[in-house]
Structure 1
Amino acid sequence: MRDGRQPGGMPTHLPVFVVTTFLLAMLPGAGQALMLRQTLDGGRRRAWASIGGTCTGLVIWTTAAAAGLSAVLLANPHAYAAVRIAGGALLAALGVSTLAGLRKPPGPAPAPSGSSYGRAYAAGLATNLGNPKAGVFAISLLPQFLTDDGPVLISSVGLGVLWAAVTGAWYVIFTWAVDRGRVLVSRPATHRRLQVVTGCTLLGIGAAVALGV
């Protein structure tokens, strides 16, 4: 989308890009299921660590797409399948872990620690990098919003950072809403139902990713 600039030097494509990426972030999927799990299990701050990992993954995918690595990955069926299966297995493992938590007696969530934040960040990063569809989006979406101004690599990475910021903003809103609603789901029976739904969702998405559905 090489449509020039608005008065004052702002690229006219940026508002459209922000709206597009925000709508993409709102689509239900592995990211939202992961954020729901992290918020219910460890609170907003642990979910925010996963958001940081997700945003890092988006920047990595964008940089890889700009450097041509994503195109190479998508052109190699075996490499693509390996990433896809690994990502699906990770999501399925998170689903199993969530369902396994049903065996524990209900009680207050443990206070988050530095290590739990690190694991949450790693979960967000691995979930995003294990989803080749993010690479497809980076290849197919970002070039439509590049202008002729400046080096393509720098422009692409800049759009990737903006994409990550917009996605992170939506997830912050989402996890805030979930955390505010914790009072409504504080009853053990309701919380266990949410665990079942979240665990099964992660398992289903993991299977879909692994099978390339």
Structure 2
Amino acid sequence: MDHYYLFIITTLLITITPGADTVLVTKNTLVQGKGVGLKTVGGVCGGVAIHIVITVLGLSAIIANSIFVFKIIKYAGAAFLILMGIFTLFSKKSNGTQDTTTSKKIPKGSYFLQGMFSNVFNPKAVIFFMSFLPQFIIPDEHNLLQMMIIGLTPVLITFIWLFFYVNLINYIRAWFNKSSFLSVFQRLTGFILITLGMKLAFEKR
């Protein structure tokens, strides 16, 4: 592999740059706790893995070059973020934790799906992986091994960073675990998710 260290550095910088995934992980960790935050992280990592597989199979090029498919992914991602924002904005809180009525409506596995959908339905990720990964592959030199290493690296970096981030947020949560703070934070993240969704919907390629 050519300049693998550059691949690691670039992937790390992109991973730690805040986006919809970060907002979602932050919200779920602060409001629901470390366990839910880690479930969301697992979903995000699953989304990254899906992007890697799509890129390896060459499907990302088809998606990127098809205006129709690209728009479907873009609007699906925008709708998901907006709906998550609306749900976050209007869900009720009680004593710093989610009320029991709302909790019963959310299956535990849905937090994993939230993280996965947030990442998979991000058209920028499709373009990124399609244009970024091939630059670090040396043709005709153990392509399968290269693909495995290059493919697993973003998943591993994403998991390590978000695992650290969830633990940091969970530590902060112990200091701010008050209904007044969580209520304001919930409203704020709701608005941010809606804004990110609208920005994605109206963004040009």
Query: What TM-score, normalized to structure 1?
Result: 0.86
Q: Which of 170, 190, 194 is 2:181 aligned to?
A: 190
User: In the alignment, which residue of structure 2 is the partner of 1:9?
Assistant: none
CA RMSD of aligned residues (A): 2.1
Aligned pair 1:37/2:27, yes or no? Answer: yes
Query: What percentage of aligned pairs have identical amino acids?
Result: 28
1:95–1:203: 8 Å Cα contact kept in structure 2?
yes
What runs of 5+ residues in structure 2 fail to find an aligned partner?
none
User: What are the Cα deviations for residues 154-192 of structure 1, in whole angstroms up to 9, with x where unaligned?
Assistant: 533431221011011111111111110012322222222
1:17–1:145: 8 Å Cα contact kept in structure 2?
yes
1:46–1:116: 8 Å Cα contact kept in structure 2?
no
**Secondary structure at the counterpart of residue 117 of structure 1:** coil
User: In the alignment, which residue of structure 1 is the partner of 2:168?
Assistant: 177
Structure 1's 157 and 85: CA in aligned 2 closer, same or farther, altered over 3 A? Answer: farther
CA distance in 2, matches of 1:154, 1:93: 40
Query: What TM-score, normalized to structure 2?
Result: 0.89
User: In the alignment, which residue of structure 1 is the partner of 2:83?
Assistant: 93
User: In the alignment, which residue of structure 2 is the partner of 1:26?
Assistant: 16
User: In the alignment, which residue of structure 1 is the partner of 2:37?
Assistant: 47
User: In the alignment, which residue of structure 1 is the partner of 2:94?
Assistant: 105
How many corresponding residue pairs? Answer: 200
1:66–1:157: 8 Å Cα contact kept in structure 2?
no
* Displacement of 1:62: 1.3
**Secondary structure at the counterpart of residue 190 of structure 2:** helix
**Secondary structure at the counterpart of residue 94 of structure 2:** coil
Structure 1's 176 and 119: CA in aligned 2 closer, same or farther, altered over 3 A? Answer: same
Written as runs of structure 1 = structure 2, the 5 A alignment for 1:104-183 is 104-109=93-98, 116-148=107-139, 149-151=141-143, 155-183=146-174
What runs of 5+ residues in structure 1 fail to find an aligned partner?
4-12
2:96–2:178: 8 Å Cα contact kept in structure 1?
no
2:77–2:122: 8 Å Cα contact kept in structure 1?
yes
CA distance in 2, matches of 1:209, 1:106: 34
Structure 1's 110 and 155: CA in aligned 2 closer, same or farther, altered over 3 A? Answer: farther
Hey, which bits of structure 1, 4+ residues long, moved more than 4 A?
A: 109-113
2:16–2:161: 8 Å Cα contact kept in structure 1?
yes
